[in-house]
Amino acid sequence: MTTFGLKAECGRFIRYDDPSADLPQLHEAGIFDGPFLHLGGGSNLLFTSGHFAGTVLHNCCSGLVFARIGDTVMATAAAGCRLDDVCREACRRGLWGMENLSGIPGNIGGAAVQNVGAYGTELRDLVDEVEVFDTVSGHFRSLSAEECAYGYRDSLFKHLPVAGSLVVTRVRLRLTALPSPRLGYKALADRFGDADPASLTPTLLRDAVIALRDAKLPDPLTTGSAGSFFTNPVVSADAYEALKAVHEEIPGHITPAGDVKLSAAWLIDHAGCKSLRIGGAALWPSQPLVIVNATGEASGAEVVALEHEICRRVKEVFGVALVPEVVHI
């Protein structure tokens, strides 16, 4: 049930497709009193031991509604909707905002937890409201984007005391009918920067983004992975200058806060990790940020061993600590 394709077992597996009825019933039955894991598309999970003793809840709910108010369009998606399906439908309707997120695996509920992003867009740029079920109180409530406390691949949902206790059930996004292409990513700027804005459509950018992803990322239908395994490290401006004094070509992107975001892929590549392989776990040749289940028979332990070796080498060469983006269970 995860995109890594690793074998795993659990104590109990429950599918549900009607959150408004099913989650309160599960609460009444005491399911949330013991260890549980809420699973959507399974695109950002690593079962390290191959066994989870608790209950796995699989969200199968669907439903996508668009409501237009002038040039603003609210798209409300059930948490079990595939993120890329929402992207595709928004683009088909000529709505701007989601096109740069095209092709990202997983469901929109998990995307709202992780604050997924790609090619200059993060989901937090679009989130208006997130509906959740509180497994402690047994009640539903809605959180504004501000209350979700979004950061780089981060949110309220990933931190105590609420981590694991709030189940995302619905996500409302704010899209627009007004042309608003985001071309900050170099490959998109190179292709569309000189184009007549009137000639651009969300679907045109979506197709370009998918082509970029296909050129460097594994096909999730044939090769198991969790996508980007590590987040890009953020260091102070002084730390970046110190790194640059030793490694002149190290790339860095200045953040709004004045820090510098490094490229984890560049660090991994230049730490001599590109051809690393442990058992069935390996780095994807055209994108060293991605660990893959190369044989289809890799174990969680092999993936973790490869992760640790990558982190060790990057730390040894650059003095920078890599942090996994993938959730370890």
Active site residue 325: yes
Is residue 268 within 8 Å of 289, Cβ to Cβ? Answer: yes
3-class secondary structure for 94-156?
CCECCHHHCCCCCEHHHHHHHCCEECCEEHHHCEEEEEEEECCCCEEEEEECCCCCCECCECH
- DSSP E strand stretches across the chain: 9-16, 36-39, 45-46, 51-59, 64-69, 72-78, 117-118, 121-122, 127-134, 139-144, 166-176, 224-228, 234-235, 252-254, 260-262, 277-278, 281-284, 287-293, 327-328
Considering the candidates 82, 88, 124, 153, report the single residue annotated as catalytic: 153
Considering the candidates 228, 299, 302, 313, report the single residue annotated as catalytic: 228
Active site residue 191: no
d(CA 307, CA 73): 41
Is residue 170 within 8 Å of 130, Cβ to Cβ? Answer: yes
d(CA 134, CA 91): 33
Query: Which of these, 75, 27, 62, lies nearest to 171 by C-alpha position?
Result: 75
Cα dist. 194→97, 186, 198 in Å?
A: 20, 13, 12
Considering the candidates 122, 131, 307, 325, report the single residue annotated as catalytic: 325
Phi and psi (nearest 5°) for 53? -75, -20
Active site residue 153: yes
Give 286's contacts (C-beta < 8 A, 6+ positions apart): 215, 216, 217
The residues carrying an active-site annotation are 153, 228, 325
